[in-house]
């Protein structure tokens, strides 16, 4: 799977979520059973807890080691930018921002060419240019908000 | 909850695992294999490491059966406790609960103390008498204090001379003592040798106490007696102390007789290596530390008191199938910080899923950023990106470092603002807490 495809996969949450309704539904069915609720004929119930964008389904089929590494690095960005880069505070959100802008910014951080930068130049130097560009593309392709119904 | 889990497994067994298997193979995803889930991961500890691991395991692999064992109904963060001690943040804003993990991610959260580990039978014993089986066990137990390592400093002494290094009632006690202290008193903080939880923590703490004194008890003094000769972000702290607090704060390193050997909690006196006795009005002892006790019960710690781990996965070097993350590990040069515990949790979640599924996890990448406040609008930071090189963890060459010295006021103000934003972001990411902006 090419990175672009993976990003598309990550971005089209509506479609991809449907793929997960079956297992999640079963999980919920299992939980219902534990609560003593019988589900006649094992009908797949609409899940009570819809998982939001699953950014890193363990290994999307065919994802290359590089693509998987990008997913892993993207998860670590959440510690300051919120889950999936969706939190807007004094620290900017990342989800759904223009890829070209984020690419340019990340590379400028790395090259100490961003005025008023604080911690990002030190962090950006920890990644290759290729990784920074792929991260920009990754976050750009995410929706601004999680799935409807998600609390995030 | 444990009973529910048993019932669920029994129910699945009774109703026939074969049918489930068929349906699932039709979906193309190996959610249940042979009537069991994709795997049972049991996590001990609901802090930055454990709660992050629970969330990201479920995000990465929703079919995993994830149980989080944490005795407290809510977690109180160490980060920002110093702001509470300095009177600029309420204690309640440090509390985070497990609602999101339970309701949104389907994590089974069990509020009991994990008491013992049966490695051979792969069972975690809970204080309530139940036990939980695992396919993989993840320990994120944080620290325990080494009572008695400093002569005279035990649990009873901590009721008079608090450590406040595991937040909770100890934090409230120290705050009450600071509030009750008369203007002109001396606050003494006894700082430990490396390694310990939150390397910049003691120095941020005295900064926040100094800010409180400056506004409320301006004739008071602060003395740090340190068991080492240098500390995290030292130049930046000392620069900020001079700028904001003049000569209120005095730091004494080990070579200058800062090493405390004995504590008398009744008289609030401490005695140093070379026999100097200092008397405090408020005495805060941060004692030597070790991995949380359940790590010892699991047999994953060595003579150092910390858990040696395989760099790529954080699986224990001593016990197969048990992973350890966070403060409890030997993961230098990564510091023992909440941020690091959380980033380790994500990498290890991925490694556990790969291990259960038989595939290869991506090359690890970890990150850390630790902000410290010297004054409410004066922040500094240290950051690092980490990788595995020749089987060992190292900081990526050329990356990381601390805030520049002699930066202007607006730079420090911005880092203070980012510190607060970081706290909001990481507590959203880990526990789903939402602060208003």
What is the ipTM score, two decimals? 0.89
Q: Please say which residue of B287, B308, B331 terminates a domain.
A: B287
List the single best residue of B37, B56, B60 to mutate versus A (max A Cβ within 10 A): B60
Query: What is the per-residue pLDDT for A7?
Result: 44
Q: How far is B402 from chain A (nearest CA, A)?
A: 8
Residues B321 and B257 in one domain: no
Q: Which of A34-43, B61-70, B346-355 has the lowest mean pLDDT?
A: A34-43
Query: What is the per-residue pLDDT for B3?
Result: 37
Residues B27 and B73 in one domain: yes
- Per-residue pLDDT tens over the stretch A56-97: 444 455 788 999 999 999 999 999 999 999 999 999 999 999
Nearest residue, CB atoms, B398 vs list A56, A82, A125: A125
Q: Is residue B437 part of a domain?
A: no
Query: What is the per-residue pLDDT for A60?
Result: 55
The whole-model pTM stands at 0.85
Query: What is the per-residue pLDDT for B284?
Result: 98
Please give the average per-residue pLDDT across B101-109, as a whole number. Answer: 97
- Within 8 A of A72 by CB-CB distance, chain B residues are 346-347, 350, 362, 364-365
Q: Is the pLDDT of residue B368 over 60?
A: yes
Report CB contact under 8 Å: B415, A34.
no
Query: What is the per-residue pLDDT for B31?
Result: 34
Q: Give me the domains of chain A, ranges plus CATH numbers.
A: 3-39 (no CATH), 50-140 (1.10.760.10)
- Within 8 A of A71 by CB-CB distance, chain B residues are 362
Residues B344 and B262 in one domain: no
- Within 8 A of B351 by CB-CB distance, chain A residues are none
Query: What is the per-residue pLDDT for A72?
Result: 95
Report CB contact under 8 Å: B437, A42.
no
Report CB contact under 8 Å: A75, B56.
yes
Q: Is the pLDDT of residue B82 over 60?
A: yes
Query: Chains A, B: CB contacts under 8 A, how many?
Result: 183
Q: Is the pLDDT of residue B320 over 60?
A: yes
- Per-residue pLDDT tens over the stretch B176-187: 999 999 999 999
Residue B234 to residue B240: CA distance in whole angstroms: 10
| pLDDT confidence tier of residue B437, bands split at 50, 70 and 90 | low
Q: Is the pLDDT of residue A52 over 80?
A: no
Bigger pLDDT: B319 or A7?
B319
Residues B160 and B99 in one domain: no
Query: What is the per-residue pLDDT for A145?
Result: 84
- Within 8 A of A78 by CB-CB distance, chain B residues are 425, 429
Q: Which of B34-48, B80-94, B202-216 has the lowest mean pLDDT?
A: B34-48
Q: State which residues form the domain around B120.
A: 2-144+290-431
- Per-residue pLDDT tens over the stretch B271-303: 999 999 999 999 999 999 999 999 999 999 999
List the single best residue of B367, B370, B379 to mutate versus A (max A Cβ within 10 A): B367
Q: Which of A59-73, B107-121, B346-360 has the lowest mean pLDDT?
A: A59-73
Query: What is the per-residue pLDDT for B9?
Result: 36
Find, in chain B, the residue whose alpha carbon is nearest to that of A52.
B59
Q: Is residue B436 part of a domain?
A: no
Domain total of chain B: 2
Residues B45 and B106 in one domain: yes
Residues B341 and B231 in one domain: no
- Per-residue pLDDT tens over the stretch B386-410: 999 999 999 999 999 999 999 999 9
DSSP chain A: --HHHHHHHHH-HHHHHHHHHHHHHHHHHHHHHHTT---GGG--PPPSS-----TT-SS-TT--HHHHHHHHHHHHHHHHH-GGG---SSSPP-TT--HHHHHHHHHHHHTT--TT--SHHHHHTTS-HHHHHHHHHHHHTS-SS--TT---
Find, in chain A, the residue whose alpha carbon is nearest to that of B7.
A34
| Residue pointed to by tokens 């409807």 | A148
Report CB contact under 8 Å: B104, A90.
no
Query: What is the per-residue pLDDT for A24?
Result: 32
Q: How far is B189 from chain A (nearest CA, A)?
A: 29
Q: How far is A121 from chain B (nearest CA, A)?
A: 8
Q: Please say which residue of B287, B319, B341 terminates a domain.
A: B287
Q: Is residue B8 part of a domain?
A: yes
CATH label of the domain that carries residue B187:
3.50.50.60
Nearest residue, CB atoms, B415 vs list A20, A28, A118: A118
| pLDDT confidence tier of residue B2, bands split at 50, 70 and 90 | very low
List the single best residue of A6, A58, A110, A142 to mutate versus B (max B Cβ within 10 A): A58
Residues B57 and B98 in one domain: yes
Bigger pLDDT: A23 or B307?
B307
Query: What is the per-residue pLDDT for B435?
Result: 87
Q: Is residue B222 part of a domain?
A: yes
List the single best residue of A17, A22, A34, A38 to mutate versus B (max B Cβ within 10 A): A34
- Within 8 A of B420 by CB-CB distance, chain A residues are 90
Query: What is the per-residue pLDDT for B209?
Result: 98
Alpha carbon distances (Å) from A90 to A93, A146, B50, B80, B423: 9, 20, 27, 17, 11
- Within 8 A of A57 by CB-CB distance, chain B residues are 60-61
Q: Is the pLDDT of residue A32 over 60?
A: no
Residues B37 and B105 in one domain: yes
Residues B6 and B50 in one domain: yes
Query: What is the per-residue pLDDT for A63?
Result: 84
Q: Please say which residue of B272, B287, B302 terminates a domain.
A: B287
Query: What is the per-residue pLDDT for A28?
Result: 32
Please give the average per-residue pLDDT across B31-43, as a whole number. Answer: 66
Bigger pLDDT: A149 or B82?
B82
Residues B336 and B398 in one domain: yes
Residues B203 and B220 in one domain: yes
CB of B66 within 8 A of CB of B57? yes
Mean pLDDT taken over chain A: 70
Mean pLDDT taken over chain B: 92
Q: How far is B101 from chain A (nearest CA, A)?
A: 11
Q: How far is A8 from chain B (nearest CA, A)?
A: 17
Residues B258 and B338 in one domain: no
Please give the average per-residue pLDDT across A3-27, as a whole number. Answer: 36
Residue A26 to residue B24: CA distance in whole angstroms: 9
Q: Is residue B254 part of a domain?
A: yes
Q: Is residue B89 part of a domain?
A: yes
Nearest residue, CB atoms, A123 vs list B19, B59, B385: B385
Reference B270, options B207, B366, B211, B188; nearest CA is B188
Bigger pLDDT: A8 or B344?
B344
């Amino acid at each position: 799977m090419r990175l672009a495809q993976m990003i598309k996969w990550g971005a089209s949450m509506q479609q991809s979520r449907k793929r997960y309704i079956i297992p999640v539904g079963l999980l919920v069915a299992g939980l219902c059973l534990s609560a003593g609720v019988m589900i006649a004929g094992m009908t797949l119930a609409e899940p009570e807890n819809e998982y939001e964008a699953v950014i890193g389904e363990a290994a999307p089929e065919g994802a290359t080691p590089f693509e998987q590494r990008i997913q892993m690095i993207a998860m670590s960005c959440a510690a300051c930018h919120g889950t999936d880069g969706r939190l807007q505070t004094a620290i900017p959100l990342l989800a759904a921002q223009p890829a070209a802008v984020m690419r340019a910014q990340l590379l400028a951080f790395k090259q100490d060419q961003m005025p008023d930068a604080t911690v990002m130049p030190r962090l950006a130097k920890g990644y290759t240019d290729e990784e920074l560009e792929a991260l920009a593309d990754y976050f750009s392709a995410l929706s601004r908000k999680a799935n409807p119904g998600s609390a995030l | 909850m444990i009973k529910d889990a048993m019932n669920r497994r029994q129910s699945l067994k009774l109703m026939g695992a074969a049918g489930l298997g068929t349906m699932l193979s039709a979906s193309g995803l190996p959610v249940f294999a042979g009537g069991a889930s994709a795997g049972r991961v049991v996590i001990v500890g609901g802090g930055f490491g454990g709660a992050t691991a629970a969330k990201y395991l479920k995000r990465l692999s929703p079919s995993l059966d994830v149980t989080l064992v944490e005795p407290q109904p809510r977690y109180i963060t160490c980060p920002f406790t110093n702001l509470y001690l300095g009177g600029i943040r309420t204690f309640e804003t440090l509390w985070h609960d497990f609602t999101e993990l339970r309701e949104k991610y389907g994590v089974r959260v069990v509020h009991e103390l994990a008491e013992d580990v049966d490695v051979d039978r792969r069972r975690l014993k809970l204080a309530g008498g139940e036990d939980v089986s695992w396919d993989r066990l993840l320990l994120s137990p944080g620290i325990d204090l080494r009572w008695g390592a400093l002569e005279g400093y035990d649990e009873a002494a901590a009721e008079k001379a608090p450590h406040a290094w595991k937040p909770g009632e100890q934090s409230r006690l120290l705050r009450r003592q600071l509030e009750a202290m008369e203007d002109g008193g001396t606050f003494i903080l006894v700082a430990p040798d490396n390694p310990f939880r939150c390397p910049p923590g003691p120095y941020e703490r005295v900064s926040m106490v100094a800010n409180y004194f400056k506004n409320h008890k301006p004739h008071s003094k602060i003395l740090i007696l340190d068991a080492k000769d240098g500390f995290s972000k030292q130049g930046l702290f000392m620069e900020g102390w001079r700028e904001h607090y003049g000569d209120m704060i005095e730091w004494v390193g080990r070579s200058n007789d800062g090493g405390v050997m004995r504590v008398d909690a009744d008289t609030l006196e401490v005695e140093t290596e070379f026999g100097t006795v200092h008397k405090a009005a408020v005495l805060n002892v941060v004692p030597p530390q070790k991995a949380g006790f359940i790590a010892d019960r699991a047999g994953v710690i060595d003579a150092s008191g910390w858990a040696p781990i395989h760099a790529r996965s954080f699986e224990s070097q001593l016990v197969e199938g048990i992973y350890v993350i966070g403060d409890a590990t030997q993961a230098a040069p990564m510091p023992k910080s909440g941020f690091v515990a959380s980033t380790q949790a994500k990498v290890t979640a991925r490694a556990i899923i790969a291990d259960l599924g038989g595939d290869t996890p991506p090359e690890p990448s970890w990150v850390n950023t630790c902000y410290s406040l010297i004054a409410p609008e004066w922040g500094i930071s240290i950051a690092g990106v980490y990788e595995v090189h020749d089987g060992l963890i190292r900081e990526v060459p050329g990356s990381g470092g601390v805030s520049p010295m002699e930066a202007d006021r607006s730079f420090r103000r911005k880092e203070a603002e980012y510190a607060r934003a970081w706290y909001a972001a990481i507590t959203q990411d880990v526990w789903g807490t939402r602060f208003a902006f």
